[in-house]
Amino acid sequence: MPLPYTFNRMEFAGSLGDLGTLLPLAIGMIIVNGLDPAGLFLSVGLFYIFTGIYFGITTPVQPMKVIGAYAIATAMTPHQIMASGILMGVCLLIIGATGAITLIGKYTPKATVRGVQLSTGTLLMAEGVKFMLGKTRLQALHQMAEPYLSIQQVGPVPMGLIIGIAGTLLTLLLLENKKMPAGIVIVGVGILIGLLAGTREGLGDIRPGFYLPAILPLGFPQGADFTVALLALVVPQMPMTVGNAVIADMDLSINYFGDAARRVTGKSLCVSMALGNFLSSCLGGMPLCHGAGGLAAHYRFGARSAGSNLMIGALFILFTLLLGHRILALFNLIPMAILGVLLLFAGSQLALTILDVKDRKELFVVVVILGITLASNLAAGFAAGIVLAYLIRSEKLNV
């Protein structure tokens, strides 16, 4: 059993493993939707620390992907995003406190959980490759594959592809290396590239000091904001949160940590996310959740205890208080392709959880969920997977 708090280079490397999921959506929502950078990153740091202390094991903190992606694509207002965080908090608090999530978890078949994990992992890997190719929404906003690098290509080859391939090979080489952990090396190399070949945009404006984020920096949402948020953001996000951030995350936590994950229950995850969203909304940040993909990322890069939460959380809090709104310039040093490498390995780790599925019918459910997810979305795949898993148990049905 891992110690509750371990502080070493492997834990630190693991704490960086999920930056590929966190930073792109965070940066996009700051640039496009006008969220407060200081409030956003402070809420992330605080949530990392609070959840690490409570759960006692590595616990991921991620943006809510459906809300983030749709909000960026449609340029929704910060008040609508804040309203979605409050509404998600209320919904999660209700299903957690009433025990409804316990029933959902109890009657969700293992094959459906594995299907959600495979689908999420596949989506993360695909997004990682898109970052290397310059095809993501964030890169499209900048109309450039590597918006903060002064060199965009070497001959006919895009710089992002070169960094992505080299970063992938370097990660494969160091993934089991405890003296030079892959997570630290790959992020460190990314920052070095940003310093040597980057535009250094915003670095000259940094004025270290003490910057305390404001409470409700943009005011409180109005009634119309809640209506739009409910229909456009909360309803599509909720099934994915239940499937991936609660049920799949709980399953993976138990798989990785056994008895040490006894506090990771459907109820506690829901209440944790509810409180995290209330906090983030008050600071002008983005809707937050946990997630199996984030847990897989932290674990694959070396995190084995809640010490990883405390380290990454402390970094976010420290940088926010020191740099305030200019914190974004620091994260812009990391090339997009490096974030893609992190996503690629996070996704592969999560997808490989299906290795314990041996039954042909269960494997059929898993791959059907993947197909539905790729054709529509994870929420539809999760819902269809539950129904199919029960139907396929009939001896009259064969695959």
The DSSP line for 365-376 is HHHHHHHHHHHS
For residue 85, is pLDDT > 50? yes
Provide, rounded to the nearest whole percent, the portion of the chain with pLDDT above 70. 99
The pLDDT of residue 395: 86
Q: In 3D, which of 392, 371, 69, 372 has the Cα closest to residue 233?
A: 69
pTM of this prediction? Answer: 0.93
- At 347-393, the pLDDT tens digits run 999 999 999 999 999 999 999 999 999 999 998 999 999 999 999 99
Average pLDDT, integer, range 32-59: 96
pLDDT at 25 over 50: yes
Res 39 pLDDT > 90: yes
Residue 2 has pLDDT above 70, yes or no: no
Q: For residue 190, what pLDDT is reported? A: 95
Tokens 């006919």 map to which residue? 156
Region 24-28: mean pLDDT is 93
- How far is the C-alpha of 261 from the C-alpha of 118, rounded, in Å? 22
Q: Mind listing the pLDDT tens digit for each residue in 94-135?
A: 999 999 999 999 999 999 999 999 999 999 999 999 999 999
The residue among 25, 33, 36, 37 whose CA lies nearest residue 75 is 33
Cβ 238 vs Cβ 287: under 8 Å: no
Residue 3, pLDDT > 70, answer no
Q: What size, in residues, is the chain?
A: 399
pLDDT at site 142:
85
Tokens representing residue 228 in the block:
């739009």
- Mean pLDDT, residues 222-238 taken together: 95
- pLDDT, one tens digit per residue, over 190-221 is 999 999 999 988 888 889 999 999 999 989 99
> Tokens for 295?
């847990």
Averaged pLDDT, 167-194? 95
Confidence category of residue 87, pLDDT binned at 50, 70, 90: very high
pLDDT attached to residue 135: 93
Quick one: three-class SS letters along the chain? Answer: CCCCCCCCHHHHHHHCCCHHHHHHHHHHHHHCCCCCHHHHHHHHHHHHHHHHHHHCCCCCCEECHHHHHHHHHHCCCHHHHHHHHHHHHHHHHHHHHCCHHHHHHHCCCHHHHHHHHHHHHHHHHHHHHHHHHCCCHHHHHHCCCCCCECCCEECCEEHHHHHHHHHHHHHHHHCCCCCCCHHHHHHHHHHHHHHHHECCCCHHHCCCCCCCCCCCCCCCCCHHHHHHHHHHHHHHHHHHHHHHHHHHHHHHHHHHHHHHHCCCCHHHHHHHHHHHHHHHHHCCCCCEECCHHHHHHHHHCCCCCCHHHHHHHHHHHHHHHHHHHHHHHHHCCCCHHHHHHHHHHHHHHHHHHHHHCCCHHHHHHHHHHHHHHHHCCHHHHHHHHHHHHHHCCCCCCCC
Q: Which of 47, 59, 63 is CA-nearest to residue 256?
A: 59
E-state strands within the chain: 62-63, 153-154, 157-158, 288-289
- Residue 1 in this model has a pLDDT that exceeds 50: no
206, exposed or middle or buried, with CB in 10 Å at 0-12, 13-18, 19+? middle
> In angstroms, rounded to a whole number, what is the distance separating the alpha carbons of residues 388 and 397?
11
The predicted model gives 321-326 an average pLDDT of 94
When the pLDDT of each residue in the chain is averaged and rounded to a whole number, the result is: 94
- Other CB atoms within a 10 A radius of the CB of residue 62 amount to 27
